Amino acid sequence: MSLSRSDLEAGNEQTRLLEASHSGIKLTTLSEDELQRSLQETLQQQPANSDIWIFAYGSLIWNPLIAYIERRPGIIYGWHRRFCTWMILGRGTPENPGLLLGLDRGGSCRGVIYRIAAADVPKELLLIWQREMIAGVYLARWVRVFDGTEEFKAIAFVANRQHPRYADRIPLTTTVNSIATASGKLGSCADYLMRTVDGLMAEGIKDKKLLLLRKQVLAKQQALLVSSGS
């Protein structure tokens, strides 16, 4: 199962988080007013009534859920893709949290940019904010994206290093074990990794670290199957 556009339009993502908070899982969520304020503050940095580019590096590549008028590959510098946020609901649990991709400081990252038409910006960006910003694990940042010939200014969602669920300097073995075993209401963390790798490959992007991580996660899962069968 994956998040759907109808989930976002119906407010199901926010409801799911709020229900989790009331059931004893400690989650903080932004209110509708806070989401709108965050969105407006971000848009103030661009001319009014203009098209907006969004930089995608994870699930937004294989499950964008937004209306866009152009899509192209691009690279940003100063940020890299990393499993750096604990996920205790969608693809994990408090007892066995999964990990979520974010943009962390340093390096570079290849991904995809989407151009949203000016007329669609209010609705489409609010959906993205409800998806990416509601839990506070990301910060919206304007980044420069290069496609080989042109430079674009786009919104990217980077890891919030001040958030309690930010995973700083965790051992590789912890990352592999978490992704190999964690699962939640939206499916398994391993499926999230596999879909991201496949989505990147479909764009001609070979992320060597994620390809190695996929190999390690599959090996871990195989070892667990052998162990449970013995």
- Write out pLDDT tens, residues 196-229: 999 999 999 999 999 999 999 999 999 999 988 7
Q: Kindly report the backbone phi and psi dihedral angles of residue 24, in degrees, each rounded to the nearest multiple of 5, phi listed first.
A: 110, -10
pLDDT digits (tens, 9 = 90+) for 133-187: 988 999 999 999 999 899 999 999 999 999 999 999 899 999 999 999 999 988 9
Q: Model confidence over 56-108: pLDDT tens digits?
A: 999 999 999 999 999 999 999 999 999 999 998 889 999 999 999 999 999 99
**Six token digits for residue 161:** 């290093």
Q: What is the pLDDT of residue 227?
A: 87
Give the model's pLDDT for residue 50.
94
Q: Which residues contact 217 (CB under 8 A, 6 or more apart)?
A: 176, 179, 180, 190, 193
Q: Give me the catalytic one of 132, 150, 151, 203.
A: 132
Cβ atoms 79, 104 nearer than 8 A: yes
* Phi and psi at residue 203, to the nearest 5°: -95, 5
124 is an active site residue: no
